[in-house]
Amino acid sequence: MKILMVNPYFWPTVTGSGTVTRQLGHELAERGHDVSILTIDHDGRAREDQIDGLAVYRVPSTSVRLGKLAFHYSLPFTTRRGVQRNIDRIIEQVGPDVVHLHGQFWDLCYWAGASARSRDIPVVMTVHTVVTNDNPFYNKLAGAGDRLMVRPLARRLTDVWTGYDRRVTDYITHRYGIPNAIFVPNPVESSMFAGQGDAHRVRTQIGLENEPIILSLGHVIPLRSRVPLVRALPRILEHIPDARVVVIGEVFDREFLHVAEHLNVRDRVVPVGRVPHEDVPDWLAAATVEAHVLHGAEGLGLDVSALESMSFGVPTVLRVSSDALPGTNLRDYPGLAILRSGDDDELAHTVIDLIHDPFARAGAICAGRAMCGDMFSGEVVVNKYLDIYRSATTVTETTGASEPQLALDG
């Protein structure tokens, strides 16, 4: 099967959705499928290259920053003269059986979806981002944009919608009016299950020896602010005086550093910044505990970093509901370090137990690895997507319809 994946966030830009796209592409290619990537070029020119054997087609783009409305991310747009011709040419050259769009907001996906639609090629849409904001004004603005712009455009192009957890599938239903969005988990990179990395290298990099590391993975945005972890840190330090919080990811929101200053624990917080994805196993090898899904609103399936941490074998603290994954009760994995209330004391005691109590630690490691193996392994995810691709292709060939026809049991 020929599959064209479309995502403006792809290497060398490292994001959760880009990591998922790359991993899914690799898993499919290893099974003998012909996978190509359509993405953007930051230097403003059209070109072709290869990444790990995947053909990558790039079209010119312009980056725009919308500040807090977009969590300080740089947003890529490809609305330039001739871009539609470029994309038409690429789709003609690739000749895909299915086009898989990663992200419902991007004009690159709209251009590609429209080109596929005009050729009766089925289109699958994966929603990577749930747009909500703690600020009521920004939240209303994002909701209005979803309803007035994203909904009519994306619905017109898409045959099948998928989401990574219940929060996302519910979002697709409520914001876009799609009642049959399919739950398909994130694939976790198979190397993460090996649990091997160079802990000494990264500990030396930040000047630590044997101190317990509370690792916190992922870019720092309001939804992953790290403020709860910093607020819990004074209590943790009462029991583990040499503990350090090591934050991996670009800092778009600095509130956690201000809170650390206020609580006089700034010297125990180490912001490392963005690191290459291939270095993540080294940081996981150095970690004693991992914690960043702490706000109760992130969900679980969207968070590649938490899944990688659990797969690697790091005890991972989570604040998620037990039904965060459709069809699964997380209580069926006893030992997962799931916060109930999410208050500072509970977070502190959970981290302390995972560092000091070998039974709690072993239970969290075993439960995390079991859940990721059952739900998020490349084999499981690829099988689900192949079923979707084949069904979508069959329906399109049978009906020749221009409106979504496919309904699968998620």
Measured CA to CA in angstroms, residue 79 lies from 38, 109, 144, 148, 273 at distances of 15, 11, 22, 19, 31
Q: How far apart are CA 105 and CA 110, in angstroms?
A: 8
What residue segments make up the domains of the chain, in order of their start? 2-187+377-399, 190-375
pLDDT at 2: 97
pLDDT at 396: 61
Give the CB-side neighbour count of residue 167, counting CA atoms within 13 A: 17
C-alpha closest to that of 98 among 126, 127, 125, 123: 123
Q: Is the pLDDT of residue 404 over 70?
A: no
Q: Which of 70-74, 85-89, 257-261 is most confident?
A: 257-261
Q: CB–CB of 38/90 below 8 Å?
A: yes
Compute the chain's Rg from CA coordinates: 21
Q: Is the pLDDT of residue 4 over 60?
A: yes
Amino acid identity for residue 61 in this structure:
S
- Express as a percent the part of the chain with pLDDT over 70: 88
Tell me whether the omega of the peptide bond preceding residue 122 falls within 30 degrees of 0, making it cis: no
Q: Do 283 and 271 contact (CB within 8 A), yes or no?
A: no
Nearest by Cα to 309 from 248, 240, 350: 248
Q: Are 292 and 305 in contact (CB under 8 A)?
A: yes
Count, residues in the chain: 410
| Averaged pLDDT of the chain | 87
For 229-254, what is the mean pLDDT?
96
Q: 190-375 adopts what CATH topology? A: Rossmann fold (3.40.50)
pLDDT at 360: 97
pLDDT reported for residue 147 = 78
Question: Residues 325, 230, 218, 178: is their CA dihedral positive or negative?
Answer: positive
User: Rounded CA gap, 281 and 46, in Å?
Assistant: 33
Q: Would 2-187+377-399 and 190-375 be classified into the same CATH topology?
A: yes
User: Among 173-187, 217-231, 259-273, which range has the highest average pLDDT?
Assistant: 259-273
Q: What is the pLDDT of residue 409?
A: 35
Over residues 298-351, the pLDDT tens digits come to 667 667 789 899 999 999 999 988 888 888 899 999 999 999 887 999 999 999
- Residue 58: what are its φ and ψ, rounded to 5°? -120, 140
Which overall architecture, per CATH, does domain 2-187+377-399 show? Answer: 3-Layer(aba) Sandwich (3.40)
Phi-psi region of 152 (alpha: psi -120 to 50; beta: other; left: phi over 0): alpha
Asked if residue 121 lies in contact with residue 396, where contact means CB atoms within 8 angstroms, the answer is yes
Highest mean pLDDT among 101-115, 234-248, 288-302: 234-248
pLDDT of residue 41: 85
109-130: buried (b, 16+ CB within 10 Å) or exposed (e) per residue? bbbbbbbbbeeebbbbbbbbbb
β pairing state of 54-60 and 47-51: antiparallel
Mean pLDDT, range 267-272, rounded to an integer: 98
Instruction: Say whether pLDDT at 242 is over 90.
Output: yes
* Average pLDDT, integer, range 271-290: 94
Strand partners of residue 60? 41
Task: Say what the alpha-carbon torsion angle 296, 22, 109, 55 is, to the nearest 10 degrees.
Answer: 180
Average pLDDT over residues 56-79: 66
Give residue 410's pLDDT band: very low, low, confident or very high (50, 70, 90).
Answer: very low
pLDDT in tens, 91-129: 999 999 999 999 888 888 889 999 999 999 999 999 988
222: pLDDT strictly greater than 90: no
pLDDT above 50: residue 401: no
The predicted model gives 276-289 an average pLDDT of 94
Q: Is 217:283 a contact under the CB 8 Å cutoff?
A: yes
Average of per-residue pLDDT across 29-47: 87
Q: Is 243 exposed, middle or buried (0-12, 13-18, 19+ CB in 10 A)?
A: buried
Under 8 Å between Cβ of 156 and 353: no
Among 347, 83, 72, 110, smallest CA distance to 226 is for: 347
Grade residue 61 by pLDDT with cuts at 50, 70 and 90: confident
* Token pair 């800092």: residue: 251
